[in-house]
Structure 1
């Protein structure tokens, strides 16, 4: 399940993702990101995951294709959560992609929004 966050605006999108994320739901999220990229030339993302989501396997395939296609159009990617695994994956992504990725603890959600918008 996902929900677009109300703080989203301009070239910055935020989503809350919980539990299972279906291929159709991921497709909706990626379509919204593509809309922002088309409008602004690039996008900043914030993804709030209170727990580690379990995407469908087909969703993972679609997600990888999206990253390969749009990696040059994503500037900042903030991940907010309470999981060592999410922190590790975010740090790994920061090292292996050109996208500036940063992990934030749950208590630092406001700081994550400021960073994602480039206001920090």
Structure 2
């Protein structure tokens, strides 16, 4: 399940994910992102991940396909979680994202305000 965060505005889309995301929810998120791309050209994403996040295989594949097809429309991605493993994975992925001119950074949940400032700058 996901929630659009109330601080989302302009080209910044903030999403909180808790529980499992299914294909119908993935399609809703893709539609929202594509709407913003249509308005702004490039968008930034702030994704807050809960403790027990999951996704269906179909939704995960749709997400990866969309991300690969739309990298040129992504400016920044902020991942907010308390997972040290995820922080390490984002650090590695950030090097590859930089090759596509995407800034990517991990923030602890306690630093969510800093994450919003970074994503909006």
TM-score class normalised by the smaller sequence: over 0.9
Instruction: Give the structure 2 partner of residue 22 of structure 1.
Output: 22
Q: CA deviation at 1:91?
A: 1.7
1:112 to 111, 115, 119: 115
Structure 1 residues 20-99: aligned runs within 5 Å: 20-97=20-97, 98=100, 99=102
TM-score, normalised by the number of residues in structure 1: 0.93
Q: Distance in 2 between the 1:90 and 1:52 partners?
A: 18
Q: CA deviation at 1:70?
A: 0.5
Q: Distance in 2 between the 1:71 and 1:52 partners?
A: 27
Q: Which moved more, 1:85-94 or 1:50-59?
A: 85-94
- Structure 1 residue runs without a partner (length 5+): none
Q: Secondary structure at the match of 1:78?
A: strand
Q: Secondary structure at the match of 1:8?
A: coil
Deviations 1:53-72 (A, max 9, x none): 11100011101111111001
Deviations 1:82-120 (A, max 9, x none): 1123212322221122221100001000000010111xx
TM-score, normalised by the number of residues in structure 2: 0.92
Structure 1 stretches of 4+ with a deviation exceeding 4 A read none
Q: Distance in 2 between the 1:26 and 1:94 partners?
A: 23
| 1:46–1:61 Cα change, 3 Å | same
- Structure 2 residue runs without a partner (length 5+): none
Q: Distance in 1 between the 2:38 and 2:52 partners?
A: 29
